[in-house]
Amino acid sequence: MPIFISRGRFTSDAIKGMLAKPENREEAVAKLFQSVGGRLTAWYLTFGHHDWLAIGEFPDAKAAASAVLAAAGGGSLSDVETTIAMTAKDAATTFETAGKAAKAFRSAARSEVNGRL
């Protein structure tokens, strides 16, 4: 299944609530991912611009988006970003396919294909 990495920030109200009543969010996130056919592979508290990072596998982008929208809709999260990720093996295949496509592609404002006349 495709891998998606989501990261974001907790709202100040969410942080206040978790300080008053600490909880492990990994279980809740895992259940949410499962509800749309996905699987949580990792959840981390992070420092810096983002407060948390979740890595999951989903059958497709719609399922991943559904989980992210459901989580964001709860009001405890902000600045949520989601990125699809590839394994090294998938990346190598992707570069191979892209290399073949690039040979026949003409960039904008160029009269030749891939730098050749």
pLDDT one-digit tens code per residue, 63-101:
999 999 999 999 999 999 999 999 999 999 999 999 999
- The DSSP string of 33-62 is HHHTT-EEEEEEE--SS-SEEEEEE-SSHH
| 112 band by pLDDT with thresholds 50, 70 and 90 | low
pLDDT for residue 2 is more than 80: yes
Query: What does the domain layout of the chain look like in residue ranges?
Result: 3-85, 87-117
- Which numeric CATH code is attached to 3-85? 3.30.70.920
Sign, CA dihedral 101-102-108-109, equals negative
Tell me the mean pLDDT in the region 11-28. Answer: 95
pLDDT of 108 reads 83
pLDDT of 106 reads 78
| 115 band by pLDDT with thresholds 50, 70 and 90 | low
Neighbours of 9 (CB within 10 A): 18
pLDDT for residue 113 is more than 70: no
pLDDT for residue 49 is more than 80: yes
